[in-house]
């Protein structure tokens, strides 16, 4: 079990180069692609060891298994566009059946074996930007790895929001409860009320990214095409949610976001959080400096 001193140190934004795995429902919408690309390009800070495909189910898939497979293929396509070769693993085809039963997958098994090589003094960072099934399964398979990892998750809404029915968390509440209760150091990036301010527009993407390289062109087209499906002919802006997880890892100068320590909340099945002062501390991001983070994102993508 971590001491308070170890936990607080692990919850500080890392200052040196780090090892990272990224768990992503990449085909779910258009923001995962930006986050993956950011992680690939930020080589001065991030050693990206693996990518995990997470399950999802919405209008872009016919179920969690299909969503995971489409995400796996989307990851491979992005790697090809970027000229990178990063090990990529298929994740869970279903959500957790309960809070005690892991779902075995290549992704969960890889995370277990990889995390065993780390320590509280040199942790493995786990950025998760989808349903957190794969990470929860790994923690259920090997609870001891909780002391060796830092989980940075975009999921749920702000504590002040009227509900917690956010896409990533509501797909697999059991998985969220496992991760939040595991003791693993946790960084929360809430969606509505916090990351919802991280928006961009078509003209901005055109100005900064279009024509810079094949990856940038794909990101612009993918975003604009998606927005056209629901906002054709209207003024629009688009939240690029998932970038903020990578932004936190690069936030050692404090320019991208503001955060505080809070007792780890408890996700409930009625899509609300409950709170207890007896819970271990986590890091809670409460403000995003939109311009500074987009500026850094665009600078990395156009290298």
Per-residue pLDDT of 245-289, as tens digits, reads: 999 999 988 999 999 999 999 999 999 999 999 999 999 999 999
Q: Residue 211 has what DSSP assignment? A: T
Beta-bridged to residue 124, according to DSSP, are 149
Beta-bridged to residue 281, according to DSSP, are 263
The answer to whether the beta carbons of residues 25 and 71 sit under 8 Å apart is yes
d(CA 179, CA 145): 12
Q: Which among 191, 207, 196, 218 is positioned nearest to 37, based on CA atoms?
A: 218
| The pLDDT of residue 241 | 98
| The pLDDT of residue 82 | 95
| The pLDDT of residue 231 | 82
Q: Looking at 182-191, 229-238, 241-250, which range is the least confident one?
A: 229-238
Mean pLDDT confidence for 153-166? 98
* Residue found by looking up tokens 């497979």 in the block: 69
Does pTM top 0.85 for this prediction? Answer: yes
CATH architecture label of 4-301 = Alpha-Beta Complex (3.90)
Q: Where are the beta strands (DSSP E) in 4-54?
A: 18-24, 46-53
Mean pLDDT confidence for 232-238? 89
d(CA 204, CA 106): 38
Please provide the average confidence, as pLDDT, over all residues in the chain. 97
| The pLDDT of residue 252 | 87
Residue 120 vs residues 10, 114, 153: alpha-carbon distances, Å: 7, 14, 19
Which tokens sit at 134? 């794969």
| The pLDDT of residue 178 | 98
Which tokens sit at 299? 């600078």
| The pLDDT of residue 169 | 98
| The pLDDT of residue 232 | 82
Pairing of the two strands 46-53 and 88-90: parallel
Q: Where are the beta strands (DSSP E) in the chain?
A: 18-24, 46-53, 88-90, 124-128, 149-154, 186-189, 199-200, 238-239, 257-263, 266-267, 273-274, 281-288
Q: How confident is the model at residue 228 (pLDDT cuts 50, 70, 90)?
A: confident
Tell me the pLDDT tens digit for each residue of 97-151. Answer: 999 999 999 999 999 999 999 999 999 999 999 999 999 999 999 999 999 999 9
Mean pLDDT confidence for 276-303? 98
* Angle at 127 (CA atoms; ends 123, 132), nearest 5 degrees: 115
Tell me the pLDDT tens digit for each residue of 52-65. Answer: 999 999 999 999 99
| The pLDDT of residue 176 | 98
d(CA 125, CA 27): 22
Tell me the pLDDT tens digit for each residue of 185-195. Answer: 999 999 999 99
Q: Which among 49, 38, 46, 37 is positioned nearest to 17, based on CA atoms?
A: 46
d(CA 258, CA 286): 6
CA 169 to chain centre: 12
Q: Is the pLDDT of residue 51 over 90?
A: yes
Which tokens sit at 62? 């016919």
Residue 23 vs residues 89, 130, 238, 254, 263: alpha-carbon distances, Å: 9, 7, 22, 24, 24
Q: How confident is the model at residue 229 (pLDDT cuts 50, 70, 90)?
A: confident
What does the domain layout of the chain look like in residue ranges? 4-301
């Amino acid at each position: 079990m971590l001491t308070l001193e170890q936990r607080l140190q692990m919850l500080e934004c890392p200052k040196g180069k780090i090892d990272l795995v990224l768990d992503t429902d990449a085909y779910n919408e258009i923001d995962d692609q930006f986050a993956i690309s950011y992680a690939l390009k930020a080589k001065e800070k991030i050693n990206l060891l693996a990518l995990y495909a997470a399950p999802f189910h919405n209008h872009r898939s016919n179920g969690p298994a299909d969503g995971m497979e489409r995400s796996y293929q989307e990851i491979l396509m992005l790697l090809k566009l970027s000229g990178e070769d990063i090990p990529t693993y298929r994740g869970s085809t279903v959500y957790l059946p309960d809070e005690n039963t892991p779902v075995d997958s290549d992704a969960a098994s890889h995370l277990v074996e990889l995390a065993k090589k780390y320590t509280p003094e040199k942790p493995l960072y786990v950025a998760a930007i989808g349903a957190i099934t794969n990470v929860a399964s790994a923690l259920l398979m090997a609870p001891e790895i909780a002391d060796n990892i830092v989980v940075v998750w975009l999921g749920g809404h702000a504590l002040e929001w009227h509900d917690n029915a956010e896409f990533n968390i509501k797909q697999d509440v059991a998985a969220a409860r496992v991760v939040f209760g595991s003791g693993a150091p946790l960084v929360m990036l809430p969606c509505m009320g916090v990351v919802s301010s991280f928006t961009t527009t078509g003209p901005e993407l055109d100005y900064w990214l279009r024509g810079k390289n094949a990856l940038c062109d794909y990101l612009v087209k993918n975003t604009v095409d998606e927005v056209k499906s629901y906002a054709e002919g209207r003024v629009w802006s688009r939240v690029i949610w998932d970038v903020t997880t990578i932004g936190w890892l690069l936030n050692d100068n404090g320019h991208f976001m503001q955060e505080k320590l809070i007792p780890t909340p408890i996700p409930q099945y009625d899509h609300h959080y409950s709170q207890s002062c007896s819970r271990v501390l986590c890091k809670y991001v409460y403000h995003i400096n939109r311009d500074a983070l987009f500026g850094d994102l665009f600078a990395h993508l156009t290298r």
